[in-house]
Amino acid sequence: MTAPALEIIGLHKQFGGLVATRNLSLRVMAGERRLLIGPNGAGKTTLFNQIAGDFLPNAGTIRLFGTDMTTLPTKARVRLGLGRTYQVLTLFPNDTLLHNVVLALLGTQGGGWSVWGGLSRSTGLHDQALVALTRVGLGHAANRRVAETSYGERRRLELAMALAQSPKVLLLDEPLAGLSAEERETVRLLLEGIPRDVTIILIEHDMDVALAFADRITLLNFGEVIVEGTRAEVIADPRTREVYLGH
């Protein structure tokens, strides 16, 4: 039997008296588009933080294509094929778009880079970074400073940084947040163009886009899985209306 792209078993994370994820289990198969939904505070981003290695769980197991990465550092998870974007943008505003992507690519390297040599000599990484920027429609702006770009361009830059690492599993945390209607359409088309050899797990509140994109949906509430299934199954479940969609 083929191992899931991502398998989470009994994940528990507690901050003092606050339980963020409670005995949470999840299986996402290779090539799947999985949507995570839930009210604010449901534990969606905290779950992503544990998968990515930003937080270590108090209990439970996280496997990527069968490899236990529960306690691995973030860089090791990236090298295993995990990519991630953030709800709050994490960019270097005074550097160029190109160098931001190059820095992301360094996370996939076995070693580091020399402060004496600098990034200017990393020709291969620059070429890869330019390909990634072109993929999201930002190749023409590669040498522009991030501070000089629009919010929508920065969202696309973060997507380029994640895609440049050639992830097998990509975590997208509200990639459409704060975008205009035109920008949302641009990013939607970019997401739809990502090949199926990349498994995507998405947190998104734009339900029109997210529901059309997802193969399966998981509803979280208070750090637990409440409902899981196809789009039709989850939307029809009365617990979804009660917890998330309203009566």
pTM equals 0.90
Strands ordered across the beta sheet of 6-15: 18-28, 6-15, 59-64, 67-68
Query: 1-81+167-247 architecture in CATH?
Result: 3-Layer(aba) Sandwich (3.40)
Ranges for all domains in the chain classified under CATH 3.40.50.300: 1-81+167-247
Q: Share the mean pLDDT of the chain.
A: 89
In this predicted structure, what is the pLDDT of residue 113?
A: 47
CA distance 70 to 11: 10
Q: What percent of the chain has pLDDT over 70?
A: 91
Q: What local confidence, expressed as pLDDT, does residue 9 receive?
A: 98
User: From CA 203, how far away is CA 38, in angstroms rounded?
Assistant: 9
Per residue in 5-23, pLDDT tens?
Answer: 999 999 999 999 899 999 9
pLDDT at residue 114 greater than cutoff 50: no
Determine how many CB atoms are found less than 10 A away from the CB of residue 177.
Answer: 16
Distances (CA, A) of 116 to 112, 120, 121: 12, 10, 10
pLDDT digits (tens, 9 = 90+) for 42-54: 999 999 999 999 9
How high is the pLDDT of residue 116? 37
